Amino acid sequence: EWAQRMTEVGEFPNPTVRKNSLKIHERIISLIDAGDAEGVARVARKHLEGSIFYASGDGDMTINADSVR
């Protein structure tokens, strides 16, 4: 939903935010590869909490990071 909405309106996070997000996703993948479930949960939770504005469009949607596996 977020990606489709952003594509339609042409509004994306600035390049610095996108680069930081990519680094976080790479970190999450590394933690998954290492079998570090607690690390994955911790980094994913922090990332999702910080990206709630972009995910919801206006910051009014809550994402439950505990559901990330």
Q: What is the distance in angstroms between the CA of the first residue and the CA of the last residue of the chain?
A: 20
pTM > 0.85 = no
Q: Please report how many Cα atoms fall inside a 13 Å half-sphere around the Cα of residue 10, on the Cβ side.
A: 0
Burial 40-55 (b: 16+ CB within 10 A, else e): bbebbeebbeebeebe
Decide which of 51 and 22 is more confident.
Answer: 22
User: For 59-69, what is each residue's pLDDT tens digit?
Assistant: 455 556 666 55
Radius of gyration of the chain (CA): 13
Instruction: Give mean pLDDT, residues 35-60.
Output: 78
